[in-house]
Amino acid sequence: MRNMNDILRQAQVMQRKLSKLQEEMADRTYEASSGGGMVKAVVTGKQELKSLTIDPATFENKDVEMLQDLILAAVNEAGRIARESMDREMNNLSGGIKLPGLF
């Protein structure tokens, strides 16, 4: 039974570390831009859009479709960066073991 108690204790320690990491990651922000910096998106570790900045010069050509594409590209890239960062941090903490349901 001693081994089982050690395993449970280690699992509890790992769970506390994972919870702390999830909280820290949720507060971090990740930025990406598109169109040479014409559009910038900032997302949180929770994949929520925190801010979107559009250079006023973008409106000069009045190309709405291009602006929409730039916004999508910046938001999607910021989300990808956030996911990759979170995956990397989780892999470091778990030793590369995939833990289902964490992100």
Specify the CATH number for the domain of residue 7: 3.30.1310.10
pTM confidence score: 0.74
Overall size of the chain counted in residues: 103
Nearest of 56, 52, 48, 53 to residue 25 by alpha carbon: 48
pLDDT band, residue 25 (cuts 50/70/90): confident
* Buried/exposed 7-44: b ≥16 CB within 10 Å, e otherwise: eeeeeeeeeeeeeebbeebeeeebbbbbbeebbbbbbb
**Between these two residues, 52 and 99, which has the higher pLDDT value?**
52
> Mean pLDDT for the chain?
86
In a domain, 47, yes or no: yes
Residue 103 in this model has a pLDDT that exceeds 70: no
Residues 64-77: tens digit of each pLDDT:
999 999 999 999 99
Split into its structural domains, the chain has a count of: 1
Backbone angles phi, psi at 93, to 5 degrees: -70, -40
In a domain, 50, yes or no: yes
In a domain, 102, yes or no: no
